[in-house]
Amino acid sequence: MPKSEQGVSSDRYQVIPRVLIFLIQDDKVLLLKGNPNKRIWANKYNGIGGHVEYGEDILSAARRELLEETGLSGIDLWLCGNIMVDASPETGISIFLFRGEYHDGQIIDSEEGRCEWISAGQMQTLPMVEDLYTILPRVMAYHPGDALMYGHTFYNDQDQMVIEFQ
């Protein structure tokens, strides 16, 4: 099929692809505490990740983001789900969730923030990016071979985030 037949049109709903990676070690997860000077999510905990760049598949993007934000490479990552975020009637964000098992390797911080191991018991007490309180327990419970998770995030009439999983 030629590019001209892909159906791309400015009047259709467009999505921005992103990856979000969670490395697990025992009952802990590696999160990134955003630098205080970040435009969004300053001083908040989030997974490792970012945008999928032109020419990348989602796994390559996840590996690149993991390397850029932690210095780690060679870690097996499993796609465990996707969340569609309705950012506006015209644009959405498609977040591909990955999980990996950490065994070894030196973790380095990046300009994005500081990497920290967080135990399951600490999660509810930390300033995390809002959707992580819902996403993270699901990702931590995921095991390779489980069915993929599918979620939808939207904002209600009070501009509050709502996350629904199938």
What pLDDT score was predicted for residue 149? 97
Bridge partners, residue 119, by sequence: 28
What pLDDT score was predicted for residue 36? 84
**Sequence-ordered list of residues with C-beta below 8 angstroms from that of 4, at least 6 positions apart, any chain:** none
What pLDDT score was predicted for residue 35? 87
What pLDDT score was predicted for residue 9? 81
- 24 exposed, middle or buried (CB, 10 Å; 0-12, 13-18, 19+)? middle
Low-confidence stretches of the chain (pLDDT beneath 70):
none
What pLDDT score was predicted for residue 37? 86
